[in-house]
Amino acid sequence: MRRSHDQSETDSLLRASAREFAREREETRADAADSWRAFVEAGWPGMGLDEDSGGLGADLHQCCLVLQEAGRALLVETAATDILVAPRLAQRAPAIAALMPDLLEGRARFALAGQGDTGFSLGANGRVTGRSALVPGADRATHVLFLAGSGESASLCLAERGTAGLRIHPAPLLDGRTAARIDLDAADTGNMTVLFAGREACDIAVELEALLLCGAASEGLGAFEAAFEMTADYVQTRQQFRQPLASFQAVEHTIADVYCELEKFRSLHMAMVSALSAGGTPVPQAVAHARLFHASDVVRAVGRLIQITGGIAVTEEYKLGRIYRRLQTDAALFGGPRRPIEILAGTPMAKPASFH
């Protein structure tokens, strides 16, 4: 297990490059389309692919490092599926591997449709029906991945945008990003690519969901770091009664408490990424612990930073308020806090398949 993302000179250079890249996008307030073009030019999509496949040969820690810097800058582009999920799946599914050149050129985008309240049912006639929960970035996807059915009758499918019976309904999110609900209305699997079937499909879908949650947590960690750093700087420079705010005991205690929460999240994030890199049975628990902390404790911690910053923190111009909205939005997505609690209770998540 790594101690940090910066154990090598390569990691340090990658972080510095990603931070500068994200800062430029943040300062120009680039929209999603501009950010995606910049992502493609920088080589971030598919960076986890090996060099023979056109990628950068980055490991999962390094891919998450890039997403962390994107979260720090609150970039509106959502690229976790393209950076983490699709390249990992391409190692096992030839149909996905065939689309990697298009991903690297920016012509293909992927969305992983998580199960909503009812999920996707697969009829005996091969027809799929159901609606997903909100999927960030799905409004720009060219290809949709989803699990239909369950158990031995399950199928992990790939559907191209425009497939009969597939409808994508865009929706704005509170923090300025976009998402979409994915409807399947008696869509015929004969018009799609069935990547895996049966228990194997369920197991692989579990790991893909874990990678998606890992990407969200990486962005959330970057946002949390930015919130803490800007607040720590604020209380050092802002004065009241001719003293810096940081000199007041209540402020000192709050900053110390939030710093402890930040270090906890870093540790949980590291454990999650390491578990996903190694594969095996610890993956569901590691992901669930990090996700639950992301969806609950992190939001509360940033709320405490807003309290000591005062009214400026809730203005549109001040970044801290926007970070809080981003984290609130993240907490509501991907099944909310209930999903990791279900995973820790051992109800819906099976042992993941290994991609190694």
CATH superfamily of 201-345: Butyryl-CoA Dehydrogenase, subunit A, domain 3 (1.20.140.10)
Question: Domain ranges in the chain?
Answer: 9-104, 110-191, 201-345
SS (H, E, C) 278-325: HCCCHHHHHHHHHHHHHHCHHHHHHHHHHHHHCHHHHCCCCHHHHHHH
E strands of the chain, at which residues?
110-113, 115-122, 127-132, 135-136, 143-148, 155-160, 166-172, 178-188, 193-197, 239-240, 243-244
Asked, colleague to colleague, whether 9-104 and 201-345 share their fold, the answer is no
* Model confidence pLDDT, tens digit, residues 1-24: 555 655 678 888 899 999 999 998
* Residues 170 and 180: beta-carbon distance below 8 Å: yes
- Cα 259 to its chain centre, rounded Å, is 23
> What is the tens place of the pLDDT at every residue in 40-97?
998 899 899 988 888 889 999 999 999 999 999 999 888 899 999 999 999 999 999 9
Question: pLDDT averaged over the chain?
Answer: 88
Q: What is the largest CA-CA distance in the chain?
A: 75
Give the containing element (helix H, strand E) for 32: helix 32-42
Structure tokens at 123: 């009829």
CATH T-level fold of 110-191: Butyryl-CoA Dehydrogenase, subunit A; domain 2 (2.40.110)
Q: How far is CA 103 from CA 50, 168, 240, in A?
A: 14, 20, 53
Q: What are the pLDDT digits (tens) for 305-338?
A: 998 888 777 777 789 999 999 999 999 998 888 8
Higher pLDDT, 339 or 322: 322
CA angle in degrees (0–180, nearest 5) for 132-138-140: 155
**CATH C-level class of 9-104:** mainly alpha
What does the alpha-carbon distance between residue 165 and residue 83 come to, in Å, rounded to a whole number? 27
